[in-house]
Amino acid sequence: MSESTPAARLVSRPFEGPCVARAEDLPDVVSLANQVFRPSPRPGDMGSEFPILLGPANLGNQYIFRDGGQVASHVGMLRQTIHTLGVDIPVACIGSVCTHPDYRQGGLAGRLMDLAIQRSIEAGDVLMPISGKRTLYVSRGATSLGPQIRLKVPIQPDMAGAADFAVCAYEPADWTRLAALQARQSIRYAWSDREPQVLESIRRWGGVCLLASHKDGELAAALLFCVNHPMYGGKDGFGRVVQFLGDVAAIPACLARAARGGLTGMEWTVLATAHPEVARTLLSAGATGPSQLTAWTVLVLKLAKLIEKIGPAVARAGVELSARDGQLTIAAGEQSVTLADRESQIELLFRHPGTWSPTLAGLPRELRIACSVALPVPLPDYGINYV
Ligand SMILES: CC(C)(COP(=O)(O)OP(=O)(O)OC[C@H]1O[C@@H](n2cnc3c(N)ncnc32)[C@H](O)[C@@H]1OP(=O)(O)O)[C@@H](O)C(=O)NCCC(=O)NCCS
């Protein structure tokens, strides 16, 4: 490698790190994140958009390199809990991965990722959802979920079925009933007292939350979408859905209300493995769009712990999963196969069989059929829990 390459120049610098950020580093972390993700004149402020991830309450989960006391590279992590198949799975979500342009290609972000992974494993986390699909993540075993469908939904004030629900705009006083509705979703991120702050930060930056109630006043559904949000977007008369909760029958009522607010359409990305009924409802309402794997990925941190949690539910559908020394064995009827590579393991566990790569697509027919019934394990889309 020539002495003039960035990596060669950086290797000899006296960096401090990789280390955990201190409280006094936080303004610098936010400033670096703004410089990288919200460069002027782009609106937004990472600190107020991500008040939990980048706030003082999450101190201890921010990994940095410093150069001359200034933060040169950052990887943020937020510990959350996913609920699926009737069990809780502790996860470490990765976000705000950034290196100052002067320090790129020197391995800094990679070493921070390695530290984040090591600390998450020590803390007992089982999965690591990552909002990206870069080599930085994929080379560490992270693999896409999916598929998802990216829909454009035409909307108008008099959508069929809209009259069946009463729709109003969310206010902070509605939090308790919104949280109760969310707690009834079978596939979800667990919400605590952090999420009201997250929701308010999204609303402050262009988020609109609508609540749809049955005639008797009981909350049936909630739709959160954005217009001109620095991250979620929403433009040219289209809103961009962040999260939907509850009864799909209330979708037309929410969309009609959004149309009365002046929008002509809604962009709505649905993770088909978690919310097929939402995709079907939108397609019936005239939505169109392409399907693809997600642009976010997941890394399995502790295979044995994951299998211990989800194995019983999968076994009820006829597939026995077992993990040993990082290898995953799947058995159904007379057939079994052992997968050693992490990418295939994630594909098998979290991806629809239609998206499997040739290794898995070549499994014995009996196993493929059994897996297509018992799997994939549905993971929730981030919604407001995005980091
Ligand atoms: C992405 C980013 C954080 C990387 O920071 P960095 O300190 O330069 O990272 P590293 O030097 O560890 O790695 C740089 C690249 O070289 C690759 N690399 C490192 N060592 C390697 C090796 N031995 N062989 C092959 N590739 C290697 C990494 O995988 C990474 O690839 P990617 O950028 O395609 O993901 C930085 O470019 C950045 O801030 N970008 C803008 C913000 C952004 O996009 N963040 C990620 C959001 S998902």
Ligand 1: centre distance to CA 327 (Å): 28
Q: Distance, CA 110 to ligand 1 centroid (Å)?
A: 7
Give, using CA atoms, the residue closest to atom 9 of ligand 1.
109
Sign of CA dihedral 22, 24, 27, 29: negative
User: Does residue 96 have its Cβ closer than 6 Å to ligand 1?
Assistant: no
CATH number of the domain at 148-292, please? 3.40.630.30
Per-residue pLDDT band for 5 (boundaries 50, 70, 90) equals low
Secondary structure class of 20 (helix, strand, coil):
strand
- pLDDT, tens digit, for every residue of 306-332? 999 999 999 999 999 999 999 999 999
- Cβ-Cβ contacts under 8 Å for 93 (sequence gap 6 or more): 77, 78, 79, 80, 128, 129, 130, 131, 382, 385, 387
**60 φ/ψ sector (left φ>0, alpha ψ -120 to 50, else beta):** left
What's the pLDDT score for residue 7? Answer: 65
pLDDT score recorded for residue 99: 98
Residue 13 confidence (pLDDT): 75
Rounded to two decimals, the pTM is 0.96
Mutate to test the pocket of ligand 1, among 31, 66, 104 (most ligand atoms within 8 A of CB): 104
Distance from residue 198's CA to the centre of ligand 1 (Å): 28
Q: How far apart are CA 108 and CA 78, in angstroms?
A: 20
pLDDT score for 10: 67
Task: Pick the atom of ligand 1 nearest to 110's CA.
Answer: 12
Ligand 1 touching residue 132 (CB < 6 A): yes
Using the atom order of ligand 1, give the atom closest to the CA of residue 7.
11
Atom of ligand 1 nearest to the CA of 135: 35
Give the residue, out of 64, 102, 135, with the most ligand 1 atoms within 8 A of its beta carbon, to mutate for a pocket test.
Answer: 135
> What's residue 2's pLDDT?
42
Cα 267 to Cα 136, 203, 280, 292: the distances in Å are 29, 18, 15, 15
| 380 CB near ligand 1 (under 6 Å) | no
**Do the first three CATH levels of 6-125 and 148-292 match, i.e. the same topology?**
yes
Percent of the chain's residues with pLDDT above 90: 96
How many helices and strands, by DSSP H and E, does the chain display? 13, 18
For 281-342, the DSSP string reads HHHHTT-B--EE--S-EEEES-HHHHHHHHHHHHHHTT-EEEEETTEEEEEETTEEEEE-SH
pLDDT digits (tens, 9 = 90+) for 188-243: 999 999 999 999 999 999 999 999 999 999 999 999 999 999 999 999 999 999 99
Does any ligand 1 atom lie closer than 6 A to the CB of residue 106? yes
pLDDT tens digit sequence for 28-70:
999 999 999 999 999 999 999 999 999 999 999 999 999 999 9
Q: Pick from 51, 338, 73, 329: which is nearest to 201 by CA?
A: 51
Q: Could you tell which of 50, 99, 130 is best to mutate to test the pocket of ligand 1, judged by most ligand atoms within 8 Å of the CB?
A: 99
3-state helix, strand, coil in the chain (%, to 5): 35, 30, 35
Q: What residues does each domain of the chain span?
A: 6-125, 148-292, 302-374
233 backbone φψ class: left, alpha, beta (φ>0; ψ -120 to 50): left
Q: Of all atoms in ligand 1, which is nearest to the CA of residue 137?
A: 35
Q: What is the mean pLDDT of the chain?
A: 96
* Residue matched to tokens 């008099």: 158
Mind listing the pLDDT tens digit for each residue in 167-189?
A: 999 999 999 999 999 999 999 99
Q: Check whether 4 has a pLDDT greater than 60.
A: no
**Cβ of 33 less than 6 Å from ligand 1:** no
The model's confidence at residue 1, banded by pLDDT at 50, 70 and 90, is very low
Could you report the per-residue pLDDT of 267-292, keeping only the tens digit for each?
A: 999 999 999 999 999 999 999 999 99
Give mean pLDDT, residues 93-122. Answer: 97
The secondary structure element, H or E, covering residue 5 is none
pLDDT at 214: 97
Assigned architecture for domain 6-125? 3-Layer(aba) Sandwich (3.40)
Q: Pick from 108, 137, 187: which is nearest to 301 by CA?
A: 137
Q: How confident is the model at residue 385 (pLDDT cuts 50, 70, 90)?
A: very high
Q: Is 139 in the pocket of ligand 1 (CB under 6 A)?
A: yes
pLDDT for residue 75 is more than 50:
yes
